[in-house]
Amino acid sequence: FDYPPELREDLQIYRRLDPTGPHMTAFLETVPKDRQRTVDFIVGLNAKVSQTVNYVIRMEPGVQTPEETFEKGTGSCR
């Protein structure tokens, strides 16, 4: 995607690639790589995340990395 210059700074945190740890790598290896419609892929990916990660309500401040989420098997929306 090519975002307008005035949005790039605000969006840069979401476009940064963090290193992939062993738990995230293991999860990604289970994601089907076959060609399919984008919507079908996203629906399947969401279902797989939902089956793998239990939703919890956390009162602690801050966010977890994807690696921490897959290592713990729990996560919350932030």
Residues 35-73 pLDDT 10s: 999 999 999 999 999 999 999 998 888 888 899 999 999
Tell me, what's the pLDDT at 62? 86
pLDDT tens track for 5-40: 999 889 888 888 888 999 999 999 999 999 999 999
pTM: 0.74
| Domain spans in the chain, listed from the N-terminal domain onward | 21-75
User: What does the alpha-carbon distance between residue 70 and residue 22 come to, in Å, rounded to a whole number?
Assistant: 9
16 phi, psi to nearest 5 deg: -80, 135
